[in-house]
Amino acid sequence: MARMKFLCDDDRCIECNACITACKNEHEVPWGVNRRRVVTINDGQSGETSISVACMHCSDAPCAQVCPVDCFYFTDDGVVLHDKDLCIGCGYCFYACPFGAPQFPQDGAFGNRGKMDKCTFCAGGPEEDHSEAEFEKYGRNRLAEGKLPLCAEMCSTKALLAGDGDVISNLFSQRVTQRQLSQEEPDSGTAQVKLWGWKTAYKD
Amino acid sequence: MTSGRLVEYEGGGDETRSNPWLAELQQQMFVEINPADANNAGVKHGEQVWVEGPEGGKIKVMAFVTNRVGRGLVFMPFHFAGHYQGKDLRNKYPEGCDPYILGESCNTVFTYGYDSVTAMQETKVSLCRLQKA
């Protein structure tokens, strides 16, 4: 059985935020809840890098380990999902998650946390596939339609890959070999420069 | 001083600032300032700053201190409108027509110059003064 994974190629990500917008539009995620986000480091400096992050659907998910009501479950495809009917909004998963994936809507007059919301790998939730209740709580179930997550399908530079972990990691290593083999830097002799990227564009 | 685009918005931005998915990603009109210039003007990242143009127009925007711009240059996006010289004009929009995000229009501080062939206004090069708000 395939294990579904995301992989973001930071040499290709151009911080266009299309993945975020695609996700929000597809699942009608409210303002303030971000299932996916783009993180940029060294902004405006040499070596600027962007990467798109959402739930990484860990094989050994820390969120599932700390959840006091055990609302997480794994699908046959290795997607980490949760049951919003069980979730009590305690926020433990948010502290456990190394990627900051769990999101909480502000709920009520005292700003209490609502039920946790996170990336579902476009695989819906425990409700019946394509049901109204499923869409309401978790968004569209594209996996059940035989489609991959929309963020990755929409990615303009194909930096964000989603799918069977074996397939996308093969694709990624193939890319890495190809882009390293490009040209040699004229003044430093042996050091190889990538086909594109900061060094190629700005030479520093 | 120069102006340009953000990836989230289009043109004057009234349409795209009315789209919640896009508006959430850019919630503030800002001016990109080099750290050296920000230091000279005494402004920190995230603070409000007055940008004053040569013709006397001035706008109050958030300071975005970054190395994206060189020393002596500031950059502003032109997608914002709805604030005028520090005043919020949201109540002037017809009911239900106000975008989620309003901000100062950078054209308030640009100058009168234009291209004589196309009559296109000059919005890419001008002078400005920064002052902590």
State the total domains in chain B: 1
Across B88-113, average pLDDT = 93
Closest residue of chain B to A38, computed from CA coordinates: B25
Across A152-179, average pLDDT = 90
Mutate to test the interface with B, among A23, A31, A37, A154 (most CBs of B within 10 A): A31
pLDDT at residue A190 is higher than 60: no
Please report the pLDDT score of residue A155 as a whole number: 94
pLDDT at residue A76 is higher than 80: yes
Kindly report the average pLDDT of chain A as a whole number. Answer: 87
Does A17 contact chain B (CB < 8 Å)?
yes
State the total domains in chain A: 1
Tell me the per-residue pLDDT of A106-118, one tens digit each, with 9 for 90 and over: 766 776 788 999 9
Residue (of A51, A43, A59) closest to A7 by Cα position: A51
Tell me the per-residue pLDDT of A5-58, one tens digit each, with 9 for 90 and over: 999 998 889 999 999 999 999 999 999 899 999 999 988 888 889 999 999 999
Residues counted in chain A: 204
pTM above 0.80, yes or no: yes
The enclosing domain of A176 has a CATH number of 3.30.70.20
- B24 vs A16: CB contact, 8 Å cut-off? no
Between residues A179 and A41, the one the model is more confident about: A41
Does A80 contact chain B (CB < 8 Å)?
no
Please report the pLDDT score of residue A2 as a whole number: 84
The helix (run of H) or strand (run of E) holding residue A136 is helix A132-138
Give a yes or no: residue A66 inside a domain.
yes
Please report the pLDDT score of residue A105 as a whole number: 87
- Pairing, β B58-65 against β B48-52: antiparallel
Give a yes or no: residue A72 inside a domain.
yes
Across B124-133, average pLDDT = 92
The enclosing domain of B114 has a CATH number of 2.40.40.20
Give a yes or no: residue A40 inside a domain.
yes
Alpha carbon of A170: minimum distance to chain B alpha carbons (Å): 31
ipTM above 0.95, yes or no: no
Residue (of A123, A130, A26, A142) closest to A73 by Cα position: A123
Give a yes or no: residue A204 inside a domain.
no
pLDDT at residue A204 is higher than 80: no
Tell me the per-residue pLDDT of B50-63, one tens digit each, with 9 for 90 and over: 999 999 999 999 99
Alpha carbon of A96: minimum distance to chain B alpha carbons (Å): 26
Domain span holding position A83: 4-182+191-199
Distances in whole angstroms, Cα of residue B107 to Cα of each of A31, A65, A105, B48: 29, 54, 37, 18
Size of interface A-B (CB pairs under 8 A): 25
Judged by DSSP in three states, B133 sits in coil
Between residues A181 and B17, the one the model is more confident about: B17
% pLDDT > 90, chain B: 89
Domain span holding position B81: 2-132
